[in-house]
C-alpha cells in the first residue's frame, strides 16, 4: 500500500527519518522539478536517490520552470515577502477586457458570444494556474521555514548535549547511557516546534491543490508528522461524516525510535539494514493496512502485529538510547482520503487511512 507524505514536500529533520522504518518507500508531492537547495543535494534528494522516497510532480512547469526558479532564488537571496506580490502579479491580468470594437451585425454578435465563452474558459484556466503558482510558492516558503527551524533546533540540541556532558563530568553521576537517553528525550522535546511550524491550514490548502492534480489517488494512506494537519482532517471528517460528530477509529501502540541519526546517509544505512532483516513484518504491516482500507470490521485490527513490531524496534533501537515516537493510525470508515482532501466521493466504500508519527 502506497504511503503519501503530507503536507510537507520534503524531509528536513532527522526526527522524520524513523518513519522510513515503517514505510520503506514514501511518496512525496513536489511543487516543481527543481530542488530547493542550492549548491548541493538536500536530504530529500539523497532519500530519493537511495530509493526510499519517490517524488511526484503533479503540475510540472516545463518551459516556465526557469521563471519559477529565478523567483525562488530571489526569495532565498533577499528574504523579502514576495508571496502577496506574486498573487497580485498573477491575478492582475485576469480582469483585463477586450476593448476592440466591431459593428454590431448578426455575424459579429454571434462571434462575440462565442468569443465570450472562449474568454471565460481562458480566465478560468488563468485562475487555476494562478492558484497553482501560489500553492507552489507557499509550499516552497514552508520548506525554507522547515530548514531554518531545523538549523535552530539542531543548534539548541547541540548546546543541550554539551551542557549535559559538562554536567555529567562535573557531577560524575551520569553514565554514557543515561546521557544518550537524556539527549534523545531532549531532541524530541526541542523538535516539537518543527512539526507545528508555520500556518498548517494554509500549507494544507496549498498541498491539496497539488494533490487534486495528481493522477494517483487510490489505494493510498496519508502519512504525516504534523499533529495539527492530522487534527484538521479529523475535524473535517467529524463535520462531514454521515453521522456528524463521529470520530475516526484509532489504532495505537506501534512505536518508532525517536532518533536513528542526525545525518541522512548513516540514517539511510540503518533504515536499509532494518528493512533487510525485517522485510516480512514490514510487508505484513502494509498488507494489513490495505486490508483495513477495505474491511468494515475494525475491532482488533493490527493487534496481532503490534507486539512483534515493537519487539523488533527494541532489539535494533533500544529505547534507552534512541527514545521513542508514538504512531497513531486513523481509520475513516467508508470515507476515502480523497473525500477528506476534496469533494466527498459518496460512491466509494473504502476506508481512509491516516498515519500520524509524533
Q: What is the pLDDT of residues 183-238, one digit of tens each?
A: 444 544 444 444 444 478 888 988 999 998 877 666 689 999 999 999 999 998 88
Q: Are strands 2-5 and 26-29 parallel, antiparallel or unpaired?
A: parallel
* Average of per-residue pLDDT across 93-121: 51
pLDDT band at 295 (very low <50, low <70, confident <90, very high): confident
* Average of per-residue pLDDT across 335-351: 71
Beta-carbon contacts of 74 under 8 Å, excluding residues fewer than 6 positions away, are 82
Cell numbers standing for residue 14: 532527522
Q: Which segments within the chain are labelled E, that is strand?
A: 2-5, 26-29, 53-56, 220-224, 249-256, 325-332, 352-357
* Average of per-residue pLDDT across 300-326: 93
Residue 50's closest CA among 223, 262, 264?
Answer: 264
Q: Look-up: residue for cell 523579502?
A: 80
Prediction pTM value: 0.78
User: What pLDDT does residue 196 have?
Assistant: 42
Residue 187's closest CA among 15, 310, 340?
Answer: 15
- Give the separation between CA 228 and CA 98, rounded to whole angstroms: 46
**Residue 288: C-alpha distances to residues 23, 210, 282, 302 (Å):** 13, 28, 10, 7
Question: Is residue 39's pLDDT more than 70?
Answer: no
* Average of per-residue pLDDT across 169-173: 57
pLDDT in tens, 250-265: 999 999 999 999 899 9
Which residues on neighbouring strands pair with residue 221, listed in sequence order?
3
pLDDT band at 180 (very low <50, low <70, confident <90, very high): very low
CA torsion through residues 56, 58, 61, 63, sign: positive
Which of helix, strand or coil describes residue 351?
Answer: coil
Looking at the chain, the whole-number percentage of residues with pLDDT higher than 70 is 68
Amino acid at each position: 500500500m502506497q504511503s503519501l507524505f503530507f503536507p510537507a514536500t520534503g524531509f528536513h529533520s532527522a526526527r522524520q527519518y524513523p518513519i522510513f522504518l515503517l514505510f520503506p518507500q514514501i511518496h512525496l508531492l513536489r511543487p516543481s522539478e527543481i530542488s530547493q537547495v542550492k549548491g548541493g543535494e538536500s536530504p530529500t534528494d539523497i532519500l530519493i536517490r537511495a530509493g526510499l522516497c519517490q517524488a511526484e510532480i503533479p503540475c510540472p512547469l516545463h518551459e516556465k520552470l526557469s521563471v519559477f526558479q529565478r523567483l525562488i532564488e530571489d526569495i532565498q537571496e533577499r528574504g523579502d515577502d514576495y508571496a502577496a506580490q506574486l498573487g497580485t502579479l498573477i491575478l492582475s491580468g485576469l480582469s483585463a477586457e477586450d476593448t476592440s470594437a466591431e459593428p454590431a451585425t448578426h455575424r459579429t454578435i454571434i462571434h462575440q458570444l462565442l468569443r465570450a465563452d472562449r474568454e471565460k474558459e481562458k480566465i478560468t484556466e488563468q485562475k487555476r494556474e494562478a492558484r497553482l503558482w501560489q500553492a507552489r510558492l507557499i509550499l516552497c516558503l514552508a520548506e525554507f521555514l522547515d530548514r531554518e527551524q531545523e538549523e535552530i533546533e539542531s543548534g539548541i540540541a547541540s548546546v543541550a548535549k554539551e551542557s549535559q556532558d559538562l554536567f555529567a563530568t562535573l557531577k560524575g553521576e551520569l553514565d554514557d547511557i543515561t546521557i544518550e537517553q537524556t539527549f534523545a528525550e531532549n531532541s524530541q522535546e526541542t523538535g516539537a516546534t518543527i512539526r507545528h511550524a508555520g500556518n498548517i491550514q494554509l500549507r494544507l490548502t496549498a498541498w491539496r491543490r497539488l494533490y487534486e492534480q495528481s493522477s494517483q489517488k487510490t489505494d493510498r494512506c496519508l502519512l504525516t508528522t504534523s499533529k495539527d494537519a492530522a487534527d484538521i482532517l479529523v475535524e473535517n471528517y467529524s463535520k462531514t461524516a454521515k453521522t456528524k460528530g463521529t470520530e475516526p477509529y484509532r489504532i495505537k501502540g506501534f512505536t518508532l525510535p525517536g532518533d536513528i541519526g542526525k545525518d541522512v546517509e548513516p540514517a539511510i544505512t540503518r533504515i536499509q539494514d532494518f528493512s533487510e532483516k525485517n522485510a516480512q513484518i514490514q510487508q505484513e504491516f502494509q498488507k494489513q493496512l490495505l486490508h483495513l482500507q477495505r474491511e468494515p470490521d475494525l475491532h482488533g485490527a493490527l493487534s496481532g502485529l503490534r507486539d512483534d513490531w515493537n519487539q523488533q524496534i527494541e532489539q535494533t533501537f533500544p529505547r534507552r538510547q534512541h527514545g521513542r515516537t508514538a504512531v497513531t493510525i486513523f481509520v475513516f470508515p467508508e470515507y476515502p482520503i480523497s473525500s477528506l482532501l476534496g469533494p466527498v466521493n459518496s460512491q466509494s466504500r473504502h476506508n481512509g487511512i491516516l498515519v500520524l508519527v509524533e
